[in-house]
Amino acid sequence: MKNGAILFLGLFAALGASWAGIVVGSSTQFGALAPYYDQVADQSYPNGLAGEAARGQLVYRDLNCASCHTQQVRRAGFGADQARGWGERQSVARDYIYQPFVQLGDSRVGPDLANYAARKPAAPDAAAVYRLLYAGQGGMPAYAFLFEERKIVGQVSAQALPAGAGVTARPGYEILPTPRAQALVAYLLSLTSPYDYPEAKAAPAPTAEAKK
Amino acid sequence: MTPNDPTFQPAAQTDEELLNAHEALLAKQPDDRAHYKLMPLALLFFFSGLILFAATYLNRYSGHFDKTIYDENALPTDHNVEVKIDPVVFGKQLFASSGACVTCHQASGQGVPGTYPPLAGSEWVNGPDERVISIVLYGLQGTVHVTSKSFNAAVMPSFGPSGFNWSDEKIADVLTYVRQEWGNKASAVTADQVAAVRAKDGAHTAWTEPDLLQIK
Amino acid sequence: MISASAPASAADSGVVEAYGHRPLLFLAGFALFWLVISGFFALVAGIQLHAPAFAAGCSVMTHGRVVALAETAFVYGWLGGIGLALTLWILARLGGEPLRAANWIVAGAAFWNLGVALGLVGIAAGEATAIPLLELPLPVQPLMLVAYGAMAVAGVLAWTGRRRDVMFASHWYAVAALFLFPWLFSIAQVMLLWFPVRGTLQALVAGWYGQGLWTLWLAPLALTAAYYVVPKASGKVLPSYDFASLGFWVLLFVGAWTGGRHLIGGPVPAWIATIAIVAAATLLFHYAIVWVNLRHAHGAGVPLKFLGFGLSAYVLGGVLDALTAIRGVAEVTQFTYFSEAQHQLAFYGAISMMLVGAFYYALPRLTGRPWAWAGLVRAHLILTGIGVVALVIGLGGAGLVQGTDLNNPAVSFAEIAAHTEGWLLLATAANVILLLGNVLFLINFFKSALCPFYAAAVKSYRGEAALEAAR
């Protein structure tokens, strides 16, 4: 190789090929996926994030929760995702079309959250999520900086965390979630896979011939 | 400075020598000494093997480059099956949707005596297809006799172009449901039938009983 | 085998470095600084894996942010800086002319490191993008791009202005790294941050960028150095040099196709993962050629020891990439510490070790004098060698345990944490060792590269003082 021009053109061809093949190719294929309209229910799926949940996703992003939590359920028979109650079907591209910042994640130090609000056996409620964020649990560190301790004026406010299970405020004080915590919890509780898209249905078990 | 002095590694050849030696390697004829060399052959075999594997694997597990295939074992025929909607299930949902049939005719299909006529056992519902399609598409006003009782208090609204503007499928499905529920045993209505009536009557106004009875 | 007859050290230094050594030392010095910084954050992040409450009280030290800080400082601060410094130096050496546009290097290096510093502050403050390997906050990224361009100008000038028309393997890799990074970086910026694509395409573009960063920028930077230093220090020609260009083109054309490697079983159509798997397997050919050509790296001398280690890690990493791309294996290793082990093997074990080896070779030629302390060089070699091996084994072991446990729904997360704790402690110990080794490296660098300037400055000051006194 002596010719600089050939090297130069080759380099750009190399990058351009992979870009065209993977990025542009899949972009034309599923970059503009339409929501799925269910005639029976007269509804389109998925739905966009509500305002507070969308702000919560920004909190999720700036704390980089994706460094420990994925948001993708693999198909039954490929890992134990569904057996762990993380979802009842495989996640598909259509699930994410309205998420401004897709947080698939690549590490499962903690459990998957794709279907957090509807997880089995027991779906979490807001109070439980606040407590988990404030006090931490097991491998999940406490995110106490998302809360503030405030002097009780008059009555205890409705949003205050109930005492017990790791939540202890000084006497005369109450622990309140900051707007960031509220947004984050709204986001976490919006995480569901509400609809079984046709492409998400499990493929029939491969025949013995097709298996190898 | 010895070669093993960690603080300084002497150069064993100059840059010029480096360039010259490697240029000479490329310039020489590949078979200049007719020596059998294992390495190039082994590498070529290895490369061919990888290409073979790549091609085979890609061919088998590409999922036919289909955007709906998420399981690499699947074939496109497994998917793309059109989703079948059961007209009775859909029709029931439409019947019960807010502002629609259930408001007047009730979930039991009995209507309200004296005000809203019943659908269960109604000779209109179980009568000719076109009649009942016409009623739903364009509505009905004036006195109507159902199961030998007279109703005049209410107006049946149009679910077609001048009213709720339902699609042919929706009207067909809700009629199919109504005609098979509460002991009714009339035939199913298809979207094509509804489309035919719609095409024939265009922007018809609400029907009256005598006009409807003309339809056989 | 052709062997150079006489040691070439006498004729081997001088004119080439005449204009380039200070900008390159400036760039390399900052890179070393970021290496130590990233080591600190990596240690904190590692401790948090087995002691989640560690330093979790403030938002800056949240695990997610610390991970992003460590990665950014390591990839953009350390690998980018040192790789670029060495690449520019090698292009100048092979071109046979002093570096031109040295001022551009200084300006570019200043803004590049400013960008890294601002980026780290931004990440700590919560402005990270949460995209692996592209964590730098959005406003910093254009600055980094321009700064990189300024430095690359000097490299391109050294390439086009080379004295002879011949091109050596290092040339190909160097030119590839110089040209491809800006394109890759700007495409990723536009498609992920300025005008984000929709849905899981984001994850795919991020994957393409991450693999591209590795195969089209970092690996070429390291191979530029390896292909140059190994024959220079060993005195031998590359044994299968006629295959080297094939290996180069395979890396470039196939490398970035592995972009869907981390999306196996994920919410993208199956063909994306299949192509990534096929690409990872085909890439084995590249690793085979690099191994065959550079096997002389395992020779005497500190630079060759580092390079040999890095090369082994590079090839081993390639084999592991191909193995874990197999769907049955990915089912276990995906989403676990094992991926992290592979990441460390590739970035730390392979790229960083090769660049360190080349830097041990280059610095005496840039400063005109040997490294200051032989003991520190030896200690650095031993500590990083042990550290990388322990880190990869610790994370790899933890990953296999974690992966097996995750696939058994009866095992709770508390039990997984208990099962992996021992392995993670080993990884933390490794992080301590690595940090210690890199601090020694930094100290040795200061003594070797900066003290001579200081001594010269003192001498000239004293000289003037003496003149003053004599007057």
Chain A residues close to C193, C-beta within 8 Å: none
Report if residue B8 sits inside a domain: no
Report if residue B19 sits inside a domain: no
A202 at C interface, C-beta within 8 A: no
Mean pLDDT of all residues in B139-159: 82
Contact C270, B67 (CB under 8 A): no
**Structure tokens, C61:** 């030290």
A86 at C interface, C-beta within 8 A: no
Q: Find the CB nearest A40 among B68, B78, B93.
A: B93
Flag if C409 and A92 touch (Cβ within 8 Å): no
pTM (two decimals): 0.86
Domain finish residue from B51, B81, B111: B81
Same domain, yes or no: B122 and B162: yes
- In this model, does residue B167 exceed pLDDT 50? yes
Cα-based distances in Å from C188 to B101, C211, C216, C443: 54, 12, 14, 36
Chain C residues close to B54, C-beta within 8 Å: 278, 281-282
Report if residue A3 sits inside a domain: no
Same domain, yes or no: B206 and B122: yes
Same domain, yes or no: B60 and B91: no
Report if residue B139 sits inside a domain: yes
Report the percent of chain A where pLDDT is more than 70. Answer: 93
Domain finish residue from B25, B60, B81: B81
SS3 of chain C: the string is CCCCCCCCCHHHCCHHHHCCHHHHHHHHHHHHHHHHHHHHHHHHHHHHHHCCCCCCCCHHHCHHHHHHHHHHHHHHHHHHHHHHHHHHHHHHHHHCCCCCCHHHHHHHHHHHHHHHHHHHHHHHCCCCCCCCCCCCCCCHHHHHHHHHHHHHHHHHHHHHCCCCCCCCHHHHHHHHHHHHHHHHHHHHHHHHHHCCCCCCHHHHHHHHHHHHHHHHHHHHHHHHHHHHHHHHHHCCCCCCHHHHHHHHHHHHHHHHHHHHHHHCCCCCCHHHHHHHHHHHHHCHHHHHHHHHHHHHHCCCCHHHHHHHHHHHHHHHHHHHHHHHHCHHHHHHHCCCHHHHHHHHHHHHHHHHHHHHHHHHHHHHHHHCCCCCCHHHHHHHHHHHHHHHHHHHHHHHHHHHHHHHHHCCCCCCHHHHHHHHHHHHHHHHHHHHHHHHHHHHHHHHHHHHHHHHHHHHHHHHHHHHHHHHHHC
Report pLDDT for C6: 36
Report the percent of chain B where pLDDT is more than 70. Answer: 88
A26 at C interface, C-beta within 8 A: yes
Report if residue A85 sits inside a domain: yes
C275 at B interface, C-beta within 8 A: yes
Residues of the domain holding B139: 87-214
Report if residue A9 sits inside a domain: no
Same domain, yes or no: B77 and B183: no
- In this model, does residue B7 exceed pLDDT 90? no
Same domain, yes or no: B111 and B200: yes
Same domain, yes or no: B71 and B126: no
Report if residue B108 sits inside a domain: yes
Same domain, yes or no: B193 and B124: yes
Alpha-carbon dihedral angle through residues C298, C299, C301, C306, given to the nearest 10 degrees: -10
What pLDDT, in 10s, does the model give residues C169-195?
999 999 999 999 999 999 999 999 999
Which residues of C, range 281-320, sit inside 8 Å of B by Cβ? 281-282, 284-285, 288-289, 292, 300-304
* Nearest-by-CA chain A residue for B167: A39
Alpha carbons C303 and C311: distance in angstroms, whole number = 12
Closest approach of chain B CAs to the CA of C95, in angstroms? 9
Chain B contact residues (CB < 8 Å to A): 65, 67-71, 73-75, 78-79, 81, 83, 85, 89-90, 93, 97, 169
Chain A residues close to C167, C-beta within 8 Å: 1-2, 4, 7
What pLDDT, in 10s, does the model give residues B96-126?
877 788 888 888 888 888 788 888 888 888 8
Quickly state the pLDDT bin for A193 (edges 50, 70, 90).
confident
Chain C residues close to A187, C-beta within 8 Å: none
Q: CATH number for the domain including B113?
A: 1.10.760.10
Structural domains counted in chain B: 2
Q: Find the CB nearest C96 among B15, B23, B69.
A: B15
Chain C residues close to A67, C-beta within 8 Å: 63-64, 67-68
Choice between C115 and C237, residue whose per-residue pLDDT is larger = C115
Flag if C199 and A67 touch (Cβ within 8 Å): no
What pLDDT, in 10s, does the model give residues A124-178?
889 999 999 998 888 899 999 999 988 888 888 888 888 877 788 888 899 999 9
Residue with tokens 């910093």: C140
- Give ∠ CA C392-C398-C403 in degrees, rounded to 5: 120
All structural domains of chain C, each given as residue ranges with its CATH number in brackets, are 17-460 (1.20.210.10)
Q: CATH number for the domain including A69?
A: 1.10.760.10
Report if residue A123 sits inside a domain: yes
Report if residue B28 sits inside a domain: no
Same domain, yes or no: B75 and B98: no
Report pLDDT for C100: 86
Mean pLDDT of all residues in C425-435: 97
Structural domains counted in chain A: 1
Helix (H) or strand (E) holding B39: helix B38-61
Report the percent of chain C where pLDDT is more than 90. Answer: 74
Report if residue B26 sits inside a domain: no
Buried b (16+ CB within 10 A) or exposed e, B164-202: bebebbbbbbbbbbbbbbbebebebbbeebbbebbeebe
Contact C191, A5 (CB under 8 A): no
Report if residue A114 sits inside a domain: yes
CB B106: neighbour CB atoms within 10 A?
Answer: 15
Same domain, yes or no: B59 and B105: no
Same domain, yes or no: B180 and B124: yes
Q: Is C195 left (phi over 0), alpha (psi -120 to 50) or beta?
A: beta
What pLDDT, in 10s, does the model give residues C360-417?
999 988 888 889 999 999 999 999 999 999 999 999 999 999 999 999 999 999 999 9
Same domain, yes or no: B56 and B94: no
Same domain, yes or no: B111 and B175: yes
Cα-based distances in Å from C346 to C279, C306, C341: 17, 14, 9
A79: β partners: A77
Residues of the domain holding A147: 48-195
Report if residue A78 sits inside a domain: yes
Choice between C169 and B209, residue whose per-residue pLDDT is larger = C169
Q: Which chains reach chain A with 3 or more Cβ–Cβ distances below 8 angstroms?
A: B, C
Report if residue A5 sits inside a domain: no
Whether the link from the prior residue into B30 is cis, omega within 30° of 0, is no
Flag if B54 and C281 touch (Cβ within 8 Å): yes
